[in-house]
């Protein structure tokens, strides 16, 4: 074959294994070898599942030989995140105190991947309690970005993003409550899908109690991939229903095509709060590419975008963050303690009535955005207001925290409204990936991916890559 198996995407690998052109064992061996070669420089995978993966590959090879039905991701290596239950593996969430919390069963999203023939080969890193936009913790250490070791791979799915960008696996499982799929995808030059609320089922059997309300409303599971077609394939698998999650909605993955002409709202500086020039260039470039493809691109901002983003803190700080403060103080590392402290400094408690008022505002603004999306079925805006931050910027002081929070404003809008979004790269700036996120109506991830495919074809980011040094 003209290129190594670890350089191929999931769709191609599944076609090869299903046709018997290569065995699942050969595919897994190639990716395990790649993991052993590059992971020491990245610390993306913090638990190798190589032995189990090879056993599963042999089982799948025997299944094919016996003529059994094969899944759509037959023999495709994937990575899974350490905050998501995978039977027999620790769900440590990057916390020393949780290192021996073994999952009694698979989270539905992991079960869906396995059921489709995917093979988990490693568990990926996350910040402690999965609540930073940088991936480092006292249990597993720091994960590095393969494009530049001095800049964050993002968080909280930073290990997933780093592993996929470097060729360890073509699909990384992640989750997103405030950008934890889309931001790492942006930092590492990947496609990251935040599905519509209710699209992908999730539940951790190891959880000691019920999910906080804001997590119930805003947290979703999604894939990180190197191509749009892999994102489609992974989303289709992840979206299979499960009785374990009452939030799951049985909606088709594809619907009527985009209306013609397709009006696209182009947002270069969300809420006027400041975006770096290179990000404005990236968004404008994406708009030009869509225009060349026949879309009607207009510079217009959805209603009260800044107010929508501000609701994230009003809903979550008195809920998720308040619930975290005790455990973080007792079991957290210095990084998460500093981060949560800055979050609380920036957003003091507003009390139960304040949270209820925010939820009422959410309903009002959700209606306004739905009306806007009737006229503009696609929105293109920054993934972040700056390129990937220097490592640990989020804990370097309150001023740095405020800078980061402002830049991440576009990440916060979608969780509040439950809308789908796809992060897609547009190119490189000073050696770091930059890109946009594409937003559409609820359950129209397919429209987001259609537009992302156009941008991807023109950007042509070289992936996977070998980990680069600070001098590269």
CATH no., domain 5-459: 3.90.1300.10
The catalytic position among 180, 214, 227, 383 is 180
pLDDT in tens, 275-310: 999 999 999 999 999 999 999 999 999 999 999 999
In the chain, what percentage of residues exceed pLDDT 70? 100
What mean pLDDT is predicted for residues 181-199?
A: 98
pLDDT in tens, 88-121: 999 999 999 999 999 999 999 999 999 999 999 9
Mark whether 240 is an active-site residue.
no
Residue 68 has pLDDT above 80, yes or no: yes
Tokens of 426: 């547009």
User: Quick one: CA torsion of 82, 83, 87, 90, rounded to 10 degrees?
Assistant: 60
Give the 3-state secondary structure of residue 448.
helix
Residue 79 and residue 163 in contact, taking contact as beta carbons nearer than 8 Å: yes
What mean pLDDT is predicted for residues 365-372?
A: 98
Spacing of C-alpha 163 from chain mean position: 13
DSSP string, 351-399: HHHHHHHHHHHHHHHHHHHHHHHHH-SEEEEES-SSSSPBTTGGGS-HH
Closest CA to 160 of 177, 140, 181: 181
Tokens of 70: 């094969």
pLDDT for res 351? 95
pLDDT in tens, 304-328: 999 999 999 999 999 988 889 999 9
Sheet containing strand 119-124, strands side by side: 45-48, 119-124, 77-81, 171-176, 220-225, 191-194, 421-429, 432-440, 378-382, 263-266, 296-299
Mark whether 130 is an active-site residue.
no
The catalytic position among 23, 81, 162, 383 is 81
pLDDT for res 471? 78
pLDDT for res 54? 98
Check the CA dihedral 463-464-470-472 and report its sign: negative
Cα diameter, the chain: 63
pLDDT in tens, 216-246: 999 999 999 999 999 999 999 999 999 999 9
In three-state form (DSSP H/G/I as H, E/B as E, the rest C), the secondary structure along 113-149 is HHHCCCEEEEEECCCHHHCCCCCEECCCEECCECCEC
State pTM to two decimals. Answer: 0.98
Which phi-psi region, left, alpha or beta, contains residue 403 (left: φ > 0; alpha: ψ -120 to 50)?
alpha
Tokens of 66: 């016996």
Residue 283 and residue 291 in contact, taking contact as beta carbons nearer than 8 Å: no
Mark whether 284 is an active-site residue.
no
Coarse DSSP helix, strand, coil percentages of the chain, rounded to the nearest 5 percent: 45, 15, 40
Residue 60 and residue 27 in contact, taking contact as beta carbons nearer than 8 Å: no
Provide the β-strand partners of residue 45. Answer: 124
Give the 3-state secondary structure of residue 437.
strand
Residue 1 has pLDDT above 80, yes or no: no
Produce one character per residue of 97-128: b if its CB has 16 or more CB atoms within 10 Å, e if not. ebeebebebbbbbbbbbbebbbbbbbbbbbbb
Please report, in angstroms and rounded to a whole number, the separation of the first and last CA atoms in the chain. Answer: 29
The catalytic position among 23, 130, 156, 163 is 156
Give the residue extent of every domain in the chain.
5-459
Provide the β-strand partners of residue 294. Answer: none
Closest CA to 157 of 90, 75, 165: 165
What mean pLDDT is predicted for residues 344-371?
A: 96
pLDDT for res 165? 99
């Amino acid at each position: 074959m003209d290129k190594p198996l670890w350089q191929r995407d999931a769709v191609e690998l599944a076609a090869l294994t299903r046709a018997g052109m290569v065995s699942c064992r050969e595919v897994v061996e190639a990716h395990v070898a790649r993991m052993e070669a590059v992971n020491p420089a990245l610390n993306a995978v913090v638990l190798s599942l190589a032995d189990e993966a090879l056993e599963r590959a042999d089982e799948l090879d025997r299944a094919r030989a016996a003529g059994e039905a094969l899944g759509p991701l037959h023999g495709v290596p994937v990575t899974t995140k350490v905050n998501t239950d995978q039977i027999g593996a620790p769900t440590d969430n990057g916390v020393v105190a949780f290192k021996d919390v073994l999952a009694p069963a698979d989270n539905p999203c992991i079960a869906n991947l396995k059921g489709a023939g995917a093979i988990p080969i490693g568990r990926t890193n996350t910040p402690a309690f999965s609540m930073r936009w940088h991936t480092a913790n006292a249990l597993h250490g720091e994960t590095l970005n393969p494009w530049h070791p001095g800049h964050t791979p993002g968080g909280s799915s930073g290990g997933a993003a780093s592993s996929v960008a470097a060729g360890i696996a073509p699909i990384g499982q992640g989750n997103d409550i405030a950008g934890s799929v889309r931001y790492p995808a942006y930092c590492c030059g990947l496609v990251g899908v935040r599905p519509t609320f209710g699209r992908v089922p999730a539940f951790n059997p190891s959880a000691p109690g019920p999910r906080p309300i804001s997590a119930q409303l805003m947290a979703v599971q999604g894939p990180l991939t190197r191509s749009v077609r892999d994102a489609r394939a992974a989303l289709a698998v992840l979206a299979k229903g499960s009785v374990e999650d009452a939030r799951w909605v049985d909606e088709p993955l594809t619907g009527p095509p985009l209306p013609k002409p397709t009006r696209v709202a182009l947002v270069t500086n969300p809420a006027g709060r400041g975006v770096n020039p290179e990000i404005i260039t990236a968004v404008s470039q994406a708009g030009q590419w869509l225009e060349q493809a026949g879309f009607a691109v207009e510079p217009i901002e959805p209603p009260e975008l800044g107010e929508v983003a501000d609701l994230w803190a009003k809903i979550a700080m008195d809920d998720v963050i308040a619930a975290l403060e005790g455990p973080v103080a007792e079991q957290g590392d210095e990084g998460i303690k500093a981060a949560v402290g800055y979050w609380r400094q920036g957003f003091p408690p507003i009390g139960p009535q304040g949270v209820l008022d925010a939820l009422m505002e959410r309903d009002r603004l959700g209606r306004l955005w739905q009306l806007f999306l009737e006229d503009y079925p696609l929105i293109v805006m920054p993934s972040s207001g700056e390129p990937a931050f220097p490592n640990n910027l989020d804990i370097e002081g309150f001023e740095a925290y405020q800078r980061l929070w402002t830049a991440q404003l576009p990440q916060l809008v979608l969780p509040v409204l439950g809308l789908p979004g796809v992060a897609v790269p547009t190119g490189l700036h000073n050696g770091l990936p930059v890109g946009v996120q594409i937003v559409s109506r609820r359950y129209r991830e397919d429209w987001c991916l259609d537009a992302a495919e156009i941008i991807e074809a023109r950007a042509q980011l070289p992936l996977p890559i070998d980990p680069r040094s600070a001098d590269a």
